[in-house]
Structure 1
Amino acid sequence: MRLPRSLISLLAVTALCVTAPALDPQDFLEKYGYLHHDHHLHNAVEVQSAIREFQWLSRLPITGELDGATLQQMAEPRCGVSDEGSQQIWAQRVNVIFTGKTLQQRRRRSARQAEKWSKHHLTYQIVNWPRHLSLGSVRLAVHTAFQLWSNVSGLVFQEAPKGPADIRLAFYEGDHNDGASNAFDGPGGTLAHAFLPRRGEAHFDMAEKWTLNGHKGHNLFMVTAHEIGHTLGLEHSPVRHALMSPYYRKLGRSLVLSWADIMAVQQLYGKPSNNRPVRLPGQVLNAALQEWEFSELQSQGDTAGLPLYCRGAFDAITMDQSGTVLVFRGGMYWSVSAKGGVSGPLPLRERWSHLPQAIEAAAFSPLDSKWYFFKGKRMWRYTGNVLDPNFPRKSSELGMPRHPDCAFYYAPLGHMVLFKGSRYFVLNLKMLRQEPYYPRRLSDWTGVPQGTNGALTRSDGRLYLFKDQQFWRFDPVKVRVTREGLWAKDLSWTGCSYVPRSNNIL
């Protein structure tokens, strides 16, 4: 029985308008192995059982109903590997711990030819990589991800740049000859998928914004480490904070591999030769990856001598009172003078101490000549380079959202504006509180897309918004977008073009 779409819509509305999954819920359950693909309609009992299994793996209350939390979880970016059989395989692993015996009856994993490699020395190859990351950065992330697993098991990995290799990693867009169900869907949705031993491949969606450390976008190291787990024969895990959860973990303070991850790989490949697993905290790896990326940015630029952010990846952008544009990426920033000269990258925290390692939004306000930075659930405010007293402040205290897409001062309102998803928020900078009657729908800004990663207002009063490699110019008088294009190519004041400036600059 296919669930009525009216019921699904009603559930979404009653759950405070949570984001609906990209797929119809039943299609989602079929895609990820909870319901079998066939031409027959599923009855209510089958659908309810599938929902319960999904909720179990996602660590949600097991209700068997498509409630708001379940629909929202379905909409989160995740691994494209099927969850089929995860519950039975997990039960088997736990049974081995307590009884030392393997369960005799369990559902076979479809399309899985082998559960483990027959050897412990494996080679890997990086076939290609995203244009906005250097090969050196990608190699480091991949090497570190493989090392994570060898630290806790009897496996040894070696890169084979020219192949052949046991495990191959590649980036693709859309349909890439893996079958329609494995076609990549662009930003969000499925980020990557992998195949178990024998085929030994991991594929990543080229259209995603991949990053090396924990700033905006998807952490390439964490996603790679997860997909490597699949190439070794590991299924999705129901354990909270497990690396092998179908919904990718953040690189935080905790240990990257949970006890469940270690148990799973050791049951297949044994313990490391020294019998003492090396477990690394997330903040140690994050610092190492960020230091490497900073070194890469300082030593390498584009072939044309342009700053690396011109390849289309930055976290925030703003402009100060002198007309200098500042572009932020990870723990670094660049300055582009009003005349077009670029300086940087420079360490973010050398200029603004007390900031986190990376930010999600930044804005300079001409109203009070202060700098505002946002990351997670906090906001920092600086006078020049000095952090103001009583900062950082919790965003919730100000009525602002966590993890904003972008922030900017907007003169027609006389306040700071923050975009987050399908809504925008207005912050009164004098009172440091949200203006009444907000948040409102982003549709008020005609033509502006969701998910912009930066915004600033030029001296002519027009607002520029950025998302990946595109920009939108918003006219506050006409109250709509009047132009769009590729910012690195079309906007010389971003520091990505050596075209002489003229009276016709955008």
Structure 2
Amino acid sequence: MIKKKRKRPVSFEIGLGEQEGSILRATLERAVCRLFLEKYGYFSEPGPGTHSPAEFTEAVRDFQRVTHLPLSGVLDAPTLHQMALPRCGTGDGESRGAWARRASTARHRRQTTPHGGRWYKRHLTYRVVNWPSYLPQHEVRLAVKAAFELWSNVSSLVFWEARDGPADIRLTFFHGDHNDGLNNAFDGPGGALAHAFFPRRGEAHFDSAERWSLHSGKGRNLFVVVAHEIGHTLGLEHSTIKSALMSPYYKKLSKDFVLSWDDILAIQNLYGKPSKGSAIQLPGKVFAHFQDWSVDLYGGDRQQKSLSSYYCHSFFDAITTDADHNLYIFKGSHYWVVTASGNASNPQPLQPRWPGLPPGIDACTWSQLSGKFYFFKGGRCWRYVGSTLEAGFPQKCSARGLPRHPDTALYFQQLRRLVLFKGAKYFVVSEETLGVEPYYPRSLRDWEGLPPGTAGALSHRDGFIYFFRDDQYWQFDRAKLQVVATGKWATQLPWMGCWDVNSGQVLF
């Protein structure tokens, strides 16, 4: 029997002497590292080019400083190993000087993104455009929702999912080059896992070639990576703190808190603290099994109690009241009913009650004159008799002069008309024609003491009109045409149904 000779592994060193092979290997390593340092912003002059040995050494030293390696300036084994680890594809800063300043003052600074900016609103929508086919859709959506809630739990931000159409922040999976520039082309498994853009582009892209997972076992944990990229879309740069979620390198889900003190200071520096209660920190073990989740992390009585008063710990989209003095509080794709005695229902989906009504309405009101519900979103309006959408609706009401995206809608008894508020103006609208009455809009100064940008209003059985914005209310006297009191609605208006407002907050 003739034994076949085992083939020698192919190597670039074949045909070269040991010394020549070592030189070639070092040259290739240096070229690869130069591309890495250019991609992630470690040279003073951005973009590809020829860099002097001194510039290269300084860039390597800055990279070592950021990754907490000995500052040798040499491409030693630990440095090469660190560069090869999976990480975020978003750059590490605009200049090596900026990184050096961040590294030396990390204990005293809050990460902000002077080049990326911030969102100038607190209510943001997001959309999951696509996802890996091997992951269940409902689990992906739960993981993404939880990732956004990480940030809203420690800031004043509020997020809502848009199932289709436009959204402020879009999450998309791509293969390889996807028209973001060659520097942002995905490189297959390992390397850059994802990248994102600062406000207000609102895009986060994920490498489809990675093996993504929603569990704590094998694969890249999608929840952790999504949460990190969301940070970028909100305006956060990479952090030099190793334990921070915004550290550039991938880390597995652990039992520790997902957000570090550095992450929390960073997001609060941009958007402020939660307007109700204190920031909520959650350990990584909470996010290990999304397949077991329903709508909340809590079970039993705690879940029912939390769901019924969730709107008390956040903001709502709109509010109105009916003939029986029931309150209707709207948020996203759900609404709550609060009875005249102050008892709140669990959140109810909009669709069964008002078929065809989209989530995230801008304003609504119930008319004492006609007994009809009016809803407004964008430039369109809906009118319902009970649960029946009237023929011919929705209509493009902005074509009749009504404001797009009104802040607040109200039926005003004295005028027997609808009133829409938008910024520093208000519009009086006829129910019959849904057109703006002559001589309007007028200045909000007619409503003495009322601030612009309210989120909703209602006529209460005590004879006053109540306006709401964030966690504040304004009590308006219809006879005097002025604000006569203001305060915190969740704690000072018992009829809002927030009996357990001081008992803590929930994740969802």
The TM-score, its normalising length taken from structure 2, stands at 0.50
Larger radius of gyration: 2
